[in-house]
A = this chain, B = another copy of it.
Amino acid sequence: MRRTGRMMPNLTHFAVATALIALPATAFAQTIDVAALRDAALKDELAWDITEGLTTEVGPRLAGTEAEARARAWAVKKLTALGFSNVRDEPFDMKTWVRGAETLEVLAPFPQPLRLTALGNSGATPATGLEGEIVYFTDLAALQAASEGSLKGKIAFVSHAMTRTQDGSQYGAYGAVRRSGPATAAAKGAAGILIRSVGTDYHRNPHAGGTGFPDGVKPIPAAALSIPDAEQLERILKRGQPVKVRLTLTPRQIGTTKSGNVIAEVPGSDPAAGLVVVACHLDSWDLGTGAFDDATGCGIVAAAAKRVMEAGTPRRTIRILWAGAEEVGIFGGKAYFDAHQGEKHALAAESDFGADRVWRVDFKLPDSAKAVSERVASALAPLGIARGRTPAGGGADIAALIASGVAGIDLQQDGTRYFDLHHTPDDTLDKVDPVQLRQNVAAWTAMLAVVANAPEEIGSTK
């Protein structure tokens, strides 16, 4: 494959020059008017239709549950009706956790209920609740610094204020409290742990999300308070009296169930040119209907693929991957990689950061395909999208592909309000801005039209 790339280095300039000239399709390049496709996509209705349909006719679809299975059936039917090829559900087994009751009562000094939600993989309290005194930590480092055994019988509360950013980059640092805080507290003997939701809104909506416990550490009840509730608990603690609470969480591990990846294709004219995978995830957290996370992503990639398909057979096969079980451990992405890593992948991209406008494009392409990135960047510029300097890393479901050397393009979405909605009950259809959603479809259509039809070889980045 790399050899083929070396055979046609001069084709890159040729492709730029001919991109807008109507020529008969060849095995190398379907010549299409990228700008016209892009601009037509600014009137797209399909991404909305998919988002509306999935969120209305399925709603919440927690990985491994019957609701996610209904989402897969819905997806197969929808993608088939849209005219895609080779539509199928590729099932895999997973260990599944489901939510139970979840309440928190402050018992003293100021009795009142607070709102929270269990973190994925949280342990359970007795059905009648667990009573304990709160031990407050300002951040994860403070919790980590607590001495062994100092939390015995106590309920840790870790607060921290994530900041709103356009690129969502605070999620890495502040998400750590959710990902590793519970295991840390458990190791120190805590009976339970509460965290301030990893989010930026001020509504009574806690943010769900996964946590984990290493082998040998028994899971403890672990939950996120909504941000107004976390600040309320901080105010109560600041009065200086011991704060006693009753925490009730009754989630369950229900054993092994099925999830699956739904796949559909636009067959290309040149099987040797490698696949272009465009991904999203079909599962959602269970509190909202997963509109922003990630029905819109599925709508965007499918709408773009359909537009490129309708412009004529592309050189490369476009493979749509609506991954299962992303939220709870990227199980779908792993299953896809295990099953398909042996196939030739030219490029992968994923839409999984809401549906606000794309503002930046990042690339990870081999040097031989430098001209492809230039043509993509040129096609995106009229949409207000600048070229970034960060190497593309892919969304979670394609990260293993990218890490293995498959080229990637990240169409970075504006995340300013993403963490207002992320994993909350508020992630519902009404939050989607149809105008920004269409800009996403236009960006993806332009990118996909260029990449799927690029005459250049797109080989490994390694």
Q: A interface vs B, CB < 8 Å?
A: 52, 55-60, 67, 70, 106, 109-113, 115, 202-205, 227-228, 231-232, 235-236, 239, 288-289, 424-426, 428-431
Question: CB distance A56 to B115 under 8 Å?
Answer: no
A58 contacts across to B, CB distance below 8 A: 110, 112
Give chain B nearest CB distance to A262 CB in angstroms.
18
Measured between alpha carbons, how far is A289 from B114 in the docked complex, in Å? Answer: 10
A424 contacts across to B, CB distance below 8 A: 204
Q: Which residue of B59, B425, B430 is within 8 Å of A231 (Cβ)?
A: B430
Question: CB distance B429 to A113 under 8 Å?
Answer: no
Question: CB distance B205 to A57 under 8 Å?
Answer: no
Measured between alpha carbons, how far is A230 from B55 in the docked complex, in Å? Answer: 14
**Across the A-B interface, the 9 shortest Cβ-Cβ residue pairs:** A59-B112, A204-B425, A228-B428, A56-B235, A202-B430, A57-B110, A228-B430, A203-B203, A204-B426
Give chain B nearest CB distance to A366 CB in angstroms.
45
9 intermolecular pairs with C-beta atoms under 8 Å apart: A55-B232, A56-B232, A59-B111, A60-B113, A202-B426, A202-B431, A203-B203, A204-B426, A228-B429
Give chain B nearest CB distance to A132 CB in angstroms.
20
A205 contacts across to B, CB distance below 8 A: 203-205
Question: CB distance B288 to A110 under 8 Å?
Answer: no
A430 contacts across to B, CB distance below 8 A: 202, 227-228, 231
Question: CB distance A235 to B431 under 8 Å?
Answer: no
Which residue of the partner chain B has the closest CB to A61? Answer: B112
Give chain B nearest CB distance to A384 CB in angstroms.
26
A106 contacts across to B, CB distance below 8 A: 59
Measured between alpha carbons, how far is A460 from B140 in the docked complex, in Å? Answer: 64
A204 contacts across to B, CB distance below 8 A: 205, 288, 424-426, 428
Measured between alpha carbons, how far is A232 from B428 in the docked complex, in Å? Answer: 9
Measured between alpha carbons, how far is A420 from B236 in the docked complex, in Å? Answer: 26
Which residue of the partner chain B has the closest CB to A288? Answer: B204
Most chain B CB neighbours (cut-off 10 Å) among A70, A232, A428: A428
A115 contacts across to B, CB distance below 8 A: 425
A426 contacts across to B, CB distance below 8 A: 202-204, 228
Give chain B nearest CB distance to A51 CB in angstroms.
12
Measured between alpha carbons, how far is A58 from B106 in the docked complex, in Å? Answer: 11
Give chain B nearest CB distance to A419 CB in angstroms.
15
A429 contacts across to B, CB distance below 8 A: 228, 231-232, 235
Measured between alpha carbons, how far is A411 from B208 in the docked complex, in Å? Answer: 42
Measured between alpha carbons, how far is A431 from B228 in the docked complex, in Å? Answer: 9
Question: CB distance A111 to B203 under 8 Å?
Answer: no
Give chain B nearest CB distance to A105 CB in angstroms.
11
Measured between alpha carbons, how far is A67 from B110 in the docked complex, in Å? Answer: 10
Question: CB distance A56 to B228 under 8 Å?
Answer: no
Extra A-B contacts (15), CB below 8 Å, given A52-B235, A67-B111, A204-B428: A56-B110, A56-B235, A56-B236, A56-B239, A57-B109, A59-B106, A60-B113, A112-B289, A204-B288, A204-B424, A205-B205, A228-B429, A231-B429, A231-B430, A232-B428
Which residue of the partner chain B has the closest CB to A110? Answer: B57
A235 contacts across to B, CB distance below 8 A: 52, 56, 429
Measured between alpha carbons, how far is A205 from B202 in the docked complex, in Å? Answer: 12
Which residue of the partner chain B has the closest CB to A57? Answer: B110
Measured between alpha carbons, how far is A52 from B231 in the docked complex, in Å? Answer: 12
